[in-house]
């Protein structure tokens, strides 16, 4: 089976071709970027943030609700102005009435505003008449509300604050999702520093970032174009940006660093480029395929918005891989004359000492393998402990910083109407029998009211058909409280009983119920997804390393770093420890789709690092047959590159962790720590220590299995052998 050999030869030729036609390749890459940009701008983004899941209990109730109570569809964006009267005053006093009249008039001055519903129209005065809200509806959808309109309403709120009122803003027309902000740039700058030190050259430090940005640009524009054809949630842009940037820089780093090694071995610049593309390029292609498998694997869970996020990420990783093997050789060829094996910047010179020192880690690990394995496992095990009480949910304004007006609006609404205001439930009553429907409904409601934790129940509103009624329930607890989940279950459990006695079927729905159900479904899907991913990882690594024990150890290491990652996420985000350091301000459940996405992504990245480290060990073992020497060689050759790659990933993810949006923030946070645990504790300490302990048995593979497995040459060994032959 020579599938792998063919790929390395093909990449070798591709590297040669790209280096020979450097100008055309670079122009071509730029042309593709421009073409995508023109197409994306002409179509515009059309993201769909509908996170529903087919087949939910609450979904069928929503369909019925829309059919029965579909009034004129309000598709204009809405902003809510929450206000609290000055101390010692109520909203019904004459001076307060005057302020509200004036405010209303000011809001209507914006030509984009369609209507304003004041406290008396929407009956929003709270019990002691100190808190109420105005709802402003725009003539255009929430996503199109202009910056000018938002500034206008902000100025109105400011004016109210001058007269000692508290005024805060929230709602889809006001709170905009920012995908890329200044913080992501910080991550890229740190990555640049890491690269410059690794290559001891600023020119080479900028190169991987430049190529990664081109690949990422094409990828993100592609996702934008795709949003017009598929339902893609807007968070997938942030996820794809994070991934595309991190792997794009890493893949270029691997190729450039191999290029430097070949130059040092005395090959010409063009030949070095071709060899780097054949050897490191093969690993990059394999690595990218692993990440793509992990992301495309999200489709297994059968939840449309997750599938879309996975595919968007996979697309950007594919482009990062293509730019690395096509564009990087061209750019290297273009700057080639300026780069020699030893070229370095005088500021970044102290690298010579490092090479001798660099393998200190290797010697340290191979000398005390037991200590390292035991300490490493205890460390990660302790960090993983909180994982046992993981609780999934959806994100809202309650976890944002109190410096944000929408968080203060959230708190004001809780103060005025109780925590449960943010977790309203809708109960639909459907007639199942003849008889007086509304009488049956009210006797059914009496039974419901005995359930603990129900805050207020509004009177039933009959629908036009006379067969359906709508009941609003405000729980006594907020959306992140487990009591709210229990309440939804209690109503569902009570429903059959009520149906029997009163001939009315009660169905629970509303955004709270839907979110709780989505979280439950995602919780249930997690173990299944993990099993598939772990099984896949095992098979892949068995083929690559022709060994039984290496994949077992790699997979166990992966499970360990995953558990530690989730443990730390629960510790910080859900339990609220150290939250302020990382910018998490409220305690809330872990974002419901976070674990599955983290498993998919970390799987790909962990396998990358495993392959880069262990493939070097295998190469050495085949030459010398000395297992300990092989571990040392792997650490010496690839340890530095893996360290740099891990640091780059962490800095890019940290940039996203500093973002404002809680969803992007928590994704960046989980991935940054996932890589920290996986690359630095598992791959650079535990893995080599275990390999040392296993000795030669690490490379054992039964003969019959060896014959069945396809031979993937992911280090491009075949090309190197042929070159040595032709040189001789």
CA distance linking residue 270 with residue 10, whole number of Å: 16
What is the SS3 assignment for 391?
coil
Distance of CA 655 to the CA centre of its chain: 13
Mean pLDDT of the chain: 75
- Per-residue model confidence as pLDDT tens digits over 344-389: 444 444 444 344 445 677 777 777 788 888 888 888 888 888 887 7
β 166-170/78-84 pair status: antiparallel
pLDDT at 356: 41
Highest mean pLDDT among 168-172, 253-257, 457-461, 484-488: 253-257
CB-based contacts of 52: which residues, under 8 Å, 6+ apart? Answer: 59, 304, 305, 514, 518
Nearest one of 475, 515, 452, 590 to 57, comparing CA atoms: 515
Q: In this structure, are residues 144 and 68 in contact, taking their beta carbons and an 8 Å threshold?
A: no
Q: In this structure, are residues 214 and 605 in contact, taking their beta carbons and an 8 Å threshold?
A: no
pLDDT at 382: 84
CB-based contacts of 711: which residues, under 8 Å, 6+ apart? Answer: 1, 2, 3, 4, 5
pLDDT confidence tier of residue 143, bands split at 50, 70 and 90: low
- Per-residue model confidence as pLDDT tens digits over 646-674: 888 888 888 877 777 777 788 888 888 99
The answer to which of 13-17, 226-230, 498-502 has the lowest mean pLDDT is 498-502
From the CB of residue 46, how many other CB atoms can be counted at a distance below 10 Å?
15
pLDDT at 90: 75
DSSP string, 60-114: HHHHHHHHHH--S---S-EEEEEEEPPTT--TTSHHHHHHHHHHHHHHHTSTTEE
- Per-residue model confidence as pLDDT tens digits over 159-216: 777 777 777 777 766 766 555 556 666 777 777 777 777 777 777 777 777 788 888 8
The number of residues making up the chain comes to 728
Q: The whole model's pTM is what? A: 0.76
The edge-to-edge listing of strands for the beta sheet with 166-170 is 113-117, 131-138, 78-84, 166-170
CA distance linking residue 52 with residue 305, whole number of Å: 8
């Amino acid at each position: 089976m020579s599938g792998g050999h063919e790929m390395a030869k093909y990449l070798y030729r591709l590297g040669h071709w790209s280096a020979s036609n450097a100008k055309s390749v670079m122009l071509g890459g730029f042309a593709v970027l421009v073409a995508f940009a023109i197409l994306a701008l002409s179509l515009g983004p059309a993201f769909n943030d509908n996170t529903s899941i087919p087949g939910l209990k609450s979904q069928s109730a929503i369909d019925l609700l829309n059919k029965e109570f579909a009034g004129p569809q309000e598709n204009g964006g809405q902003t809510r102005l929450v206000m609290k009267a000055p101390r010692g005053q109520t909203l019904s006093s004459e001076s307060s009435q005057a302020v509200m009249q004036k405010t209303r008039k000011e809001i209507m001055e914006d030509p984009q505003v369609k209507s304003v519903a004041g406290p008396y129209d929407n009956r929003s005065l709270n019990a002691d008449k100190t808190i109420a809200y105005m709802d402003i509806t725009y003539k255009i959808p929430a996503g199109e509300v202009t910056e000018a309109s938002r500034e206008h309403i902000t100025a109105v709120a400011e004016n109210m604050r001058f007269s000692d009122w508290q005024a805060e803003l929230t709602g889809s027309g006001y709170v905009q999702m920012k995908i890329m902000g200044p913080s992501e740039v910080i991550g890229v700058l740190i990555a640049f520093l890491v690269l410059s030190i690794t290559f001891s050259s600023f020119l080479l430090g900028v190169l991987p970032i430049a190529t990664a940005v081109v690949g990422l640009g094409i990828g993100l524009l592609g996702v934008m174009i795709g949003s017009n054809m598929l339902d893609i949630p807007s968070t997938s842009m942030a996820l794809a940006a994070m991934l595309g940037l991190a792997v794009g820089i890493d893949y270029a780093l691997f190729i450039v660093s191999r290029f430097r090694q070949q130059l040092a071995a005395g090959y010409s610049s063009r030949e070095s480029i071709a060899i780097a593309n054949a050897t490191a390029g093969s690993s990059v292609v394999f690595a990218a395929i692993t990440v793509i498998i992990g992301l495309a694997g999200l489709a297994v869970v059968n939840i449309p918005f997750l599938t879309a996020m996975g595919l968007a990420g996979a697309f950007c990783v594919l482009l990062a891989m293509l730019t690395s093997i096509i564009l990087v050789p061209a750019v290297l060829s273009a700057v080639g004359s300026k780069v020699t094996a030893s070229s370095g910047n005088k500021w970044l010179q102290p690298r010579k000492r490092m090479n001798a020192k660099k393998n200190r880690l290797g010697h340290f690990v191979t000398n005390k393998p037991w200590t390292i394995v035991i300490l490493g496992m205890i460390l990660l095990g302790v960090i993983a402990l909180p994982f046992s009480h993981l609780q999934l949910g959806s994100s809202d304004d309650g976890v944002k910083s109190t410096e944000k007006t929408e968080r203060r609006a959230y708190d004001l609404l809780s103060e005025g109407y109780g925590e449960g205001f943010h977790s309203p439930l809708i109960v639909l009553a459907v007639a199942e029998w003849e008889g007086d429907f509304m009488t049956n409904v009210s006797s059914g409601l009496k039974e419901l009211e005995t359930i603990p934790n129900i805050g207020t129940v509004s009177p039933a509103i009959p629908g036009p058909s006379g067969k359906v009624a709508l009941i609003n329930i405000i729980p006594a607890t907020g959306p992140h409280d487990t009591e709210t989940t229990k309440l939804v279950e209690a109503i569902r459990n009570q429903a059959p009983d009520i149906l029997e006695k009163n001939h009315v079927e009660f169905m629970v729905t509303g955004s709270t119920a839907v979110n709780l159900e989505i979280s439950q479904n995602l919780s249930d899907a997690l173990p299944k997804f993990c099993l598939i991913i772990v099984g896949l990882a095992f098979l892949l690594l068995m083929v690559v390393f022709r060994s039984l024990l290496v994949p077992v150890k790699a997979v166990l290491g992966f499970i360990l770093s995953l558990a530690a990652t989730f443990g730390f996420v629960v510790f910080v985000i859900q339990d609220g420890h150290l939250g302020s350091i990382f910018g998490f301000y409220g305690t809330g459940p872990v974002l419901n789709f976070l674990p599955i996405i983290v498993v998919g992504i970390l799987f790909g990245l962990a396998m990358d690092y495993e392959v880069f480290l262990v493939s070097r060990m295998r190469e050495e073992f085949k030459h010398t047959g000395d297992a300990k020497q092989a571990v040392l060689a792997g650490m010496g050759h690839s340890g530095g590159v893996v360290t740099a790659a891990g640091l780059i990933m962490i800095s890019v993810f940290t940039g996203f962790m500093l973002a404002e949006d809680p969803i992007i923030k928590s994704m960046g946070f989980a991935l940054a720590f996932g890589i920290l645990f996986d690359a630095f504790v598992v791959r650079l300490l535990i893995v080599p220590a275990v390999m040392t302990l296993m000795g030669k048995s690490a490379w054992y593979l039964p003969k019959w299995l060896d014959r069945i497995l396809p031979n993937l040459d992911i280090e491009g060994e075949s090309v190197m052998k042929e070159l040595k032959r032709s040189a001789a």
